[in-house]
Structure 1
Amino acid sequence: MKKKALASLCVAAVAALALAGCGTGGQGTASGEKVTIKYTNFISNGGNEKNLDTIVQAFEKENPNITVQVTTLPYNAYGTTLQTDLAAGTQADTFDVEYANLKSYVANGTIAPLDGVDASKYRQSLLKSYQSDGKQYALPTSFSDVVLYYNKALFDAAHLSYPNANWTWADETAAAQKLTNPATGVFGDFQNISFYEFYKAIAQAGGKFLSDDGKSAAFNSPAGIKAANWLANKSGTTMPTPAQGAGTPDFDTKLFKDGKLAMLHTGIWVASSLADSPKDWDIAVEPGDTQKDSAMFSNAVAVSAASKNKDAAQKWAAYLSSSQVMAQTRISAGWELPPTSDESVLKPYLNQGKPANRQAVFDALNNVVLPPSIGENQQKMTDIITNALGEIAAKRSNAADALKAAADQVNALLK
């Protein structure tokens, strides 16, 4: 899913959920009794409803005593609907969750810990992102990550080597400066100056966004200052300013399609929209400063703690997240990527043409940094950081002062 869809859902009403009656209840399937489980999702909205139905039908064929009742909602309505259902105790047996909300769900007892998960079926970095205190609370259903796109024709014209796995920030900066040409309107680089790039850049610089106990901000550090300057200093030098269009929806991808951008930091979801424009392009794992770290985004499915059919619900969750039918359906439909550990299933994706280096999508998972999660104040924290970075980019504040002020605001949210 797109990065903008990774904004945290509002779960303030979760605390009001009455957990009385959250016992296991009758499981039904062991004795052959038929049960119906409800699944509320946003992952199939917008064109993949039939693909989800393919998975449901295959599951029901293998499990004739279990019927899956699906409710599909648009993402922008999902948070409000789930919040209302949680407060009323009427949520579905299984429902979609995102990493940023996991802590709130666990803390409020909304979702049930899962037993007997076959961990070998999943990519470990994805599976572990939905664990808390050593317990598995959700199963990843798909993933996407951020890579570095580059226009090979522009590199060739400048007689520069293409980005590779050994590149650092210094290499990217040097190339971007040589590739930027104001006379032809070509920019060397584009990376959003936002929270979602900043937390990753801190990790690439060897720092941390939050303290180890998660109770205080740690981004106002030398690594944080370096990360903020890495992003902000691109504006007006190797990438356009907001006045030149940066910040306008899809401006960066349009610039890349028009052959006016040499490098672009964005997610794998963009690849399908590029087709043959520009004519010759590829991707690489993003450069780091002191180390490699890539942003990974995923969706997952959880079992409600209030479900009366937890065994059947977990069986469905496991099928939705790890079955061969699910993986093959996703690959053939281009519906994000399955979290499978089975490389043979992924081979068709690797051989689908542009970008040629599709392996970079999986190589990026070797070093993953997840977005810091603080619960119901997630969006406020995101806005604080993005605003601070904007002040630095506009040169209205230096990085040290802006991050100190932002840290004070984030610490107030953490109290």
Structure 2
Amino acid sequence: MNRTARGVTIGAVAVGGLILTSCAGGAAPGDDGDVTITYSNFISAGGNEDNLTKIVEAFESENEGITVEVKTLPYADYFTALQTDLAGGTASDVFDIEFANYAAYQQSGVLAPLDDVDTGAYQASLVDAYATDGTSYALPSSFSNVVLFYNADLFDAAGLEYPTADWTWEDEQAAAEQLTDAGAGVWGDYQPISYHEYYKAVAQAGGEFLSDDGTAVGFTSPEGIAAAEWLIGKSGSTMPTAEQGAGTPDFDSGLFSSGKLAMWHSGIWMFGSLADADFSWDIAVEPGDQQHASALFSNAVGVSAGSKHTDAATAFAEFLTSSATTVETRLEAGWELPPIADQSELAAYLDITPPANRQAVFDSLENVALAPSIGDGQAEMQDIVTEELTEAAAGRKTVEQALADAEQRITPLLG
């Protein structure tokens, strides 16, 4: 799946106004003190159901008296069902969320605070993504991120040094210009002109996509303009235009896998499809302008604030996200990455090649650009930004006019 296209925000639901009732999933304790908790998820749908079963069985074995009932739904159906359950007070004790959903859920009061969890077990940037005023309201369950892929053979042929974590936009542009041979169908760079790349580029330029209080856009600033110019300036120079195929499904992955693309901004979920590529490739931390900022795609689990078994549910949420069983299962299955901080437990992942520099995956977490989240208007906001940037890339608007128009259209969506 091309998660760059999906991002972490498609499927965001409107949870404002949900009425939290005292009823929630999970049976009451029996006479013997045993409890049953429920877990609703989408993360295992489509091939990882058995892997989830392995984790659940290990938890039940280590926590005698707690039974976990699992409900798995496809991603396309999950959030609609969850919204219905939350509104009706029938939500599971533990349930999956995405980062883009987190703020709306937390503000609506459906997530229980997780005060007793040792969050030191997780990557710090992932913990921060699901915390409000210093309190965790969800635990990260997995992550993936975006890195800079590069074709080492093309770099070697051009006599250029490979990208490093110290690279800036200027370095990337200079290399892309030398590596581009449009006549031969070889391009130096590919970075989608879209909302998902733009908010990250704004952060890399040292700016803010939204104001601190979320009530105004910040991308019409000099930094926002620089970010848009960085993306749009590549089109037709170091990367193909829309007329040449850019933006069509799988065009970028096909271009890179065919050896016709020198650098590619994409996600680590593409490693598997490139394992048998007939050229040498590797990855690096994405270059920045004023600073590094990497896009993070993350899932998490929350505990229902209405659960009658909060302790048991919290114990399961912690086991599901950070236990040795979970880490081993995820790594063996290639089922996204566990969010743990102890990299020694991830040695098996780092040893898999290609790419040789898998350490860049974790180095990218040191400076993360979290996706802006505004609640009900999220999908519309994303579409507006992509539409306006596309207009600028096509030459129908200036960058400044496109961003001003985006601001005018988005402002009514903000709280």
Task: Quickly name the TM-score band, shorter chain normalised.
Answer: over 0.9
1:92-129: CA deviation from partner (whole Å, max 9, x where unpaired):
11110111111111111111111211022111111111
Q: CA, structure 1 residues 242+35, in 2 after alignment: closer, same or farther (shift >3 Å)? A: same
**C-alpha contact (below 8 Å) 1:168/1:289 kept by paired residues:** yes
Measured after TM superposition, the shift of residue 23 of structure 1 is 9.2
1:247-267: CA deviation from partner (whole Å, max 9, x where unpaired):
111111111000000000001
**C-alpha contact (below 8 Å) 1:24/1:310 kept by paired residues:** no
**AA partner of residue 21 (structure 2):** A
C-alpha distance in structure 1 between counterparts of 2:274 and 2:46, whole Å: 19
Aligned to 1:388: 388
Q: Find out whether 1:238 has 2:269 as its counterpart.
A: no
**C-alpha contact (below 8 Å) 2:24/2:93 kept by paired residues:** no
Q: CA, structure 1 residues 411+129, in 2 after alignment: closer, same or farther (shift >3 Å)? A: same
Alignment of structure 1 residues 114-129 onto 2, 5 Å: 114-129=114-129
C-alpha distance in structure 2 between counterparts of 1:227 and 1:238, whole Å: 16
C-alpha distance in structure 1 between counterparts of 2:228 and 2:336, whole Å: 30
**C-alpha contact (below 8 Å) 1:195/1:386 kept by paired residues:** yes
C-alpha distance in structure 2 between counterparts of 1:105 and 1:373, whole Å: 11
1:168-194: CA deviation from partner (whole Å, max 9, x where unpaired):
101111111111102211011000111
Measured after TM superposition, the shift of residue 20 of structure 1 is 3.3
Aligned to 2:80: 80
Aligned to 1:18: 19
C-alpha distance in structure 2 between counterparts of 1:59 and 1:257, whole Å: 41
C-alpha distance in structure 2 between counterparts of 1:219 and 1:386, whole Å: 13
**AA partner of residue 21 (structure 1):** S
Aligned to 1:323: 323
1:302-329: CA deviation from partner (whole Å, max 9, x where unpaired):
0111211111111100000110110111
**Identity over the aligned pairs, expressed in percent?**
57
Q: CA, structure 1 residues 352+23, in 2 after alignment: closer, same or farther (shift >3 Å)? A: closer
C-alpha distance in structure 2 between counterparts of 1:202 and 1:58, whole Å: 43
C-alpha distance in structure 2 between counterparts of 1:234 and 1:10, whole Å: 31
C-alpha distance in structure 2 between counterparts of 1:196 and 1:32, whole Å: 51
1:255-308: CA deviation from partner (whole Å, max 9, x where unpaired):
100000000000100011111214200000000011111111110000111211
C-alpha distance in structure 2 between counterparts of 1:203 and 1:400, whole Å: 18
Aligned to 2:187: 187
1:302 aligned counterpart, secondary structure: strand
**C-alpha contact (below 8 Å) 1:207/1:223 kept by paired residues:** yes
Aligned to 1:37: 37
**AA partner of residue 395 (structure 2):** K
Measured after TM superposition, the shift of residue 242 of structure 1 is 1.4
**C-alpha contact (below 8 Å) 1:27/1:310 kept by paired residues:** no
RMSD: 1.7
Q: CA, structure 1 residues 25+51, in 2 after alignment: closer, same or farther (shift >3 Å)? A: closer
Structure 1: which 5+ residue stretches go unaligned? none
TM-score, normalised to structure 1's length?
A: 0.96
Alignment of structure 1 residues 297-308 onto 2, 5 Å: 297-308=297-308
Aligned to 1:48: 48
Q: CA, structure 1 residues 184+28, in 2 after alignment: closer, same or farther (shift >3 Å)? A: same
C-alpha distance in structure 2 between counterparts of 1:71 and 1:170, whole Å: 49
Measured after TM superposition, the shift of residue 25 of structure 1 is 10
1:246 aligned counterpart, secondary structure: coil
Equivalent residue in structure 2 for 1:9, among 5, 8, 11: 11
**AA partner of residue 126 (structure 1):** L
1:6 aligned counterpart, secondary structure: coil
